[in-house]
Amino acid sequence: MLHHRKSPSSGTWAHAAGRRVDVSAVSSACVRAAALGAASALLLAAGCDSVPAGATADTVGASSRRAGGATPCPRVEFTCLDNVDEVVFPEEDQAKVDTLYAELLLYLRAYHDVLSRQVDGCSTSIATVATASVEDGQISGKQERCLDQYSDVVEMLRHIELVLDNEQAAKKCFDPTMSTVPEAFRGFTPSEGLRDGSDVARWLDRPLFTDRSALQDFGAGFATALRNTSGSGPWSHDPTIAALPNLWASAGWVPLYLDREDAGSQAFRGGYAYAEFMGPLGMLKIDAIDGERFQGEIGVTNQRTGTFYPAHYHHAQELYITLSESACEDHYASMLIDAGISEIAQATDWSDYFIPTDSGDQWPLYIDRNKVHSFEVGDCNGSAAEKGMVTAWARTVVRDGEDQGTNICAWPDGAGPDDLAPSSQFSCDSP
């Protein structure tokens, strides 16, 4: 058995076979040794702590023979998107890069762990997969299923674990300036107050929401919304701004719908933003891990108080975990219809199928491919101030060659942008 401890100098070390091995460079690409029999035994005897997926005693033995009898420990190879590994930071800025990367890793650890909890016969977390499911023309209540039945989630979790176990190797794909991301997706810092509270955010010096008239009100209350969050409940580590202030303040927040007139009211369009921490439009831009394409986007969202996110759908599967603490009953509500367009048309009023959500929820919301969903953030009769709905968010497969855009369902006949509400009967051309 390996016993891990921190070295007095640096690195993560394992003691095995009477010698000390630096396991920070050892592949964690890998499934743990106990599951792999003879291949595991060979690598454990050599002082390695893990084994690549698919390894056998024959392949390990062949590798050993090529190495003159020694058994080389497998290592994970990361390739980066858009040559981001060629971005070089001046020595005086490296401490800020290190601080932000360390907080990103803590977020990924918390996110991995909350989805990997083994409960009620599942090898991963349970997920709410439908708050409304149409069956035989009738709409039933919410359903819960094991996340491990979704291969996209399992693969994303495995890739996150590889990053966490090989953090130095993955770091070459980290660029907090997002210099290789298209300018429209580099995002903003929402407010001067958020920026001034973080040395890293001041260094990055992203433009401010408050510099744009349509985003000024959202930006002014943004920090309040981020701080009205809780990392307790199902979380083993706090993923919120309270624990990770530089990450939340330094991320590039994108007002996704600001210029989309079909997305409803101006209050919503100027009151919704997301930040991608890891993914093709994020700060950690990994192309592949040991030749396997990293498909996901991992980040956070914020939807302002008193706004309605119209019914919509998209090709990518999606996960949400609400971090905000509700100020009243039904402050935050989500709706997911697990059905296709022909069945959706039978639902004349969807308002009954929105269910409340807040940071006390035990399970994430999983939205399968092209399933219609919507979110409402109430104002609690004016008492909620700027306590918007903040979520931990991810899309699991965004690099499969398909259109990754979000499709807003058609509004009811005669409705204007300010008329849209949970009771609206949208028309959705979902596949």
For the chain, the average pLDDT equals 83
pLDDT of residue 255: 98
Select from 302, 335, 320 the least CA-distant residue to 227. 302
Q: Which residues contact 325 (CB under 8 A, 6 or more apart)?
A: 228, 229, 230, 358, 359, 360, 387
> What strands, in cross-sheet order, belong to the sheet with 12-16?
3-6, 12-16, 19-22
Residue 75 — very low, low, confident or very high, per pLDDT cuts 50/70/90? confident
Kindly report the pTM of this predicted structure.
Answer: 0.83
- pLDDT band at 4; cut points 50, 70, 90: very low
Nearest 5°: phi and psi at 127?
-130, 145
- Answer for the pair 200, 99: CB distance below 8 angstroms, yes or no: yes
- Tokens describing residue 402: 């398909």
Q: Per the structure block, which two tokens stand in for 63?
A: 């590798």
Report the distance separating Cα 335 and Cα 376, nearest Å: 9
Task: Give the confidence band of 21 by pLDDT, cuts at 50, 70, 90.
Answer: very low
Given a contact cutoff of 8 angstroms between Cβ atoms, the answer to whether 173 and 282 are in contact is no
* CA 328 to the chain's CA centroid: 27
Position 411 pLDDT exceeds 60: yes
CB 194 within 8 A of CB 175: no
pLDDT at residue 5 in the model: 26
- The percent of residues above 70 in pLDDT, for the chain, comes to 77
- The mean per-residue pLDDT over the stretch 367-382 comes to 91
Q: Taking residues 198-212, what's their average pLDDT?
A: 96
**Nearest CA-CA partner of 346 in 316, 372, 370:** 372
Q: Which domains are delineated in the chain?
A: 3-75 (no CATH), 115-419 (2.60.120.10)
How many angstroms from the chain centroid is the CA of residue 354? 23
Q: Average of pLDDT values for 147-174? A: 95
The Cα–Cα gap between 372 and 341 comes to 9
Question: 54 pLDDT exceeds 50?
Answer: no
Q: Over 70: is that where the pLDDT of 40 sits?
A: no
At 12, the pLDDT band (50, 70, 90 cuts) reads very low
Where is average pLDDT lowest: 89-93, 170-174, 327-331, 350-354? 350-354
